[in-house]
Structure 1
Amino acid sequence: MKEKRISGTLQEKNGRFYMVVRMPTPAGQYRQKWISTGLPVTGNKRKAKQMLDSKLIELQEQLDEQQRRAGWAVADVGEILFVALIDRWLRRKRLELAPTTIEGYERILVRLRPYFARLNLVTNAVSPAVIEGYVDFLIKEGLSANTVRHHLTLLKSVFNDEIRNGAPILNPVKCVKGPKNETFEANTYTIDEVGALFDLFRGDPLDDIVQIAVLYGLRRSEILGLRWLDIDFERRVFHVRHKVVQVKVDGVWQLIRSNDLKTEASRRSFPLSDAMRERLLARKAAAEARRAADEGYSDADAAYVFVDQNGVLLWPNYVTDHFRHKMAASTLPKLRFHDLRHTCATILLQNGCSLREIQAYLGHATYMTTTRYAHVDGKSKQHALDLLGEVLFENTNETQEDNK
């Protein structure tokens, strides 16, 4: 494909110099643009020429950046190898999205890219039948229906990005029906089991973290993102407005600290219970004592609540791995750290909280998410049956009394 270049000349108009720039269009044609230099013709030709040269360089750099982002002319996209199109899509997304999102895409591409590289197809040859073959491959690999749908979403995005840029191609993923979503079932604890869990972690580095996860239903990233400035001990309230996540960037694990929470609904406040207030005050005092006594104590993460004995912020994977190790050595039913959040939701539901209240408490963006997390058990159904029976039979008895 011939490289598109911007050219220009100087023209005189009404006694002043104008730059007349010839610019390529996406359709492969050219248009002219008149740009005033503001310089009188007399005695300013050299200066006007310098202005023209600078403007042409500026405009060419802008065009090169656009072409770099686009990669190829839209008319040629269909003849490009599909794996090259995927790579370009990922380069573009790296400039637009958070590292945590990119890490999720890269996990999908571990399977997706080699599969399509083996097929060696150009973009126009990627048909609905080819996509269906990929779905069958993923299912045979043992991936869940939800994970397969994530793969399809990524593929759909690759095509949609090119279509939005004007590429004359179709999106074959739209013709492929993904596997049916599986029913979400999380493991949760009863109140008695929660008590045993608290006993298990008493005195452990995760003691306070486990307590907060169950009592407030916070995500791991939200707990580790708690800072002392987020806690108002006087007003007995704390705010969720910061997170800490662990992502792999170019093969290296990194901590990402951010105020960009999962959803806007995640930004919320909680009353501080008396017990948790005392726990956090004790934790703060212990950290200050270690800082005063140990010259090697790090102040780099002093703003954060959950640091280790040396003042270093706890990493998310440490929390998950240590929790799993501790649970494996116990006789309690096995569950993941994130299931503590589900446990919080379920206990709230069992004790009379409405789903709308639980939605706000957990920081869910949608009501439907809450219905997946809060598990209605026999106790909740019995409560509903008691209410319904009370109303129905009370009305029936009143009617029978009236008829006597």
Structure 2
Amino acid sequence: MKTKVTGYLTQKHGFYYVVLNLPTDEKGKRNRKTLSTGLSTDRNATKAKALLLTMIREANAGEEVRGVNERQPKSQNKTEDERWNSPWPGMLFSDYLEFWLQWKRKSWEEVTYSGYCQNVRSWIEPYFAKRKVRLNEITVLDIEMFYTHEINQRGVSGNTVLHYHANIRKALSDAAKLKLIPYNPAAEVERPKKDNFVASYYSADELMEVLPIFANTKMELPVMLAAFYGLRRSEVIGLQWSAIDFERKIVTISRTFERINVDGKMVDVSK
């Protein structure tokens, strides 16, 4: 009687994998095969279980069973959900970036996630999507040409390009860890040069002209705190009465407050 193939799901690096228990070989040695589902562990349990049953059924029918990355066609006719949850080497780099944002979201703070989304969705994704660069085909030259385009065509600063570089390098590093690409090409890209920051300040005379403009408005106190104590906006807004020691005349900056855009929604974040 032919032994039936069984299997189960396992998790690794934030993704579901199928482990098939195949019939023993001629020497009676147990044979197992691990296959990628391409599904992240975030809200994909039902899909993973369905794929497990499909692979078991195919194996018992004598068909060759392959992981999702091996099954993927080169066609780009994928639904939004498939692009985000089923990474594969031949997918567009822009689609992989969107998957990466969703996959790593829980490991980042809201402020970090918001900043990554701003860079990736506004500038990095559109550039590479227009050129149809695939994840497993992206080169050092592709990345350097993007930086050149941003500096020469859009006139962005070297500091901004450094942020883009950090995003791209981390995204491709994670792709290499998932075995979607053999190595990280961004690691070989020459690091963009950082611009020297030259701060500018209001003089005492200029402050005397500015302060009356905000007198008797809700902005008067924040402007005065920023002007006299050099506080950042987030530090001024984050001030609470408990941070002020009236007896010793000390103000302790222990909390900040920001309002950021997360997936189209304004979210208040305090630290």
Please tell me the TM-score bracket, short chain as reference: 0.5 to 0.7
Hey, what does 1:65 align to over in structure 2? 41
- Provide the alpha-carbon RMSD of the alignment: 3.3
Hey, what does 1:141 align to over in structure 2? 154
- Partner of 1:169, secondary structure, is coil
Distance 1:64 1:134, change over 3 A: closer
Of 227, 230, 238, the residue aligned with 1:217 is 230
| Structure 2 unmatched ranges of 5 or more | 22-38, 49-66, 71-86
- Distance of 1:200 and 1:136 partners within structure 2: 42
| Structure 1 unmatched ranges of 5 or more | 8-21, 32-62, 260-404
Distance 1:28 1:225, change over 3 A: same
Contact map agreement 1:24 1:30 (CA 8 A) in 2 = no
- Distance of 2:257 and 2:94 partners within structure 1: 33
Hey, what does 2:184 align to over in structure 1? 171
Distance 1:67 1:176, change over 3 A: farther
Hey, what does 1:258 align to over in structure 2? 270
Distance 1:168 1:6, change over 3 A: farther
2:129 aligned with 1:153, yes or no?
no
- Distance of 2:42 and 2:226 partners within structure 1: 46
Of 122, 127, 139, the residue aligned with 1:127 is 139
- Partner of 2:172, secondary structure, is helix
2:74 aligned with 1:98, yes or no?
no
Of 171, 181, 186, the residue aligned with 2:199 is 186
TM value normalised by structure 2: 0.65
Hey, what does 2:95 align to over in structure 1? 84
For 1:116, give the aligned amino acid.
F
Q: What is the CA deviation profile of residues 136-176 of structure 1, one whole-angstrom value per residue up to 9, with x for unaligned ones? A: 22121221221112111111111112233455521111222
Distance 1:112 1:168, change over 3 A: closer
Mapping of residues 337-348 of structure 1, within 5 Å: none
Mapping of residues 228-247 of structure 1, within 5 Å: 228-247=241-260
Q: What is the CA deviation profile of residues 40-90 of structure 1, one whole-angstrom value per residue up to 9, with x for unaligned ones? A: xxxxxxxxxxxxxxxxxxxxxxx9727959x98788843232122111111
- Distance of 1:6 and 1:150 partners within structure 2: 47
- Distance of 1:23 and 1:111 partners within structure 2: 37
Distance 1:64 1:95, change over 3 A: closer
Q: What is the CA deviation profile of residues 288-331 of structure 1, one whole-angstrom value per residue up to 9, with x for unaligned ones? A: xxxxxxxxxxxxxxxxxxxxxxxxxxxxxxxxxxxxxxxxxxxx
- Distance of 2:97 and 2:90 partners within structure 1: 14
Identify, as 1 or 2, the structure richer in helix. Answer: 1
- Partner of 1:245, secondary structure, is strand
Q: What is the CA deviation profile of residues 214-248 of structure 1, one whole-angstrom value per residue up to 9, with x for unaligned ones? A: 22221101111111222232343232222221212
Larger radius of gyration, structure 1 or 2?
Answer: 1
Contact map agreement 1:6 1:23 (CA 8 A) in 2 = no
Contact map agreement 1:148 1:178 (CA 8 A) in 2 = no
- Distance of 1:200 and 1:64 partners within structure 2: 54
TM value normalised by structure 1: 0.45
- Distance of 2:43 and 2:171 partners within structure 1: 17
Q: What is the CA deviation profile of residues 87-141 of structure 1, one whole-angstrom value per residue up to 9, with x for unaligned ones? A: 1111023222222222222221212112211222321110011112211221212
- Residue-pair matches, total: 209
Hey, what does 2:129 align to over in structure 1? 117
Contact map agreement 1:74 1:165 (CA 8 A) in 2 = no
- Distance of 2:226 and 2:11 partners within structure 1: 56
- Distance of 1:25 and 1:185 partners within structure 2: 49
- Distance of 2:115 and 2:126 partners within structure 1: 17
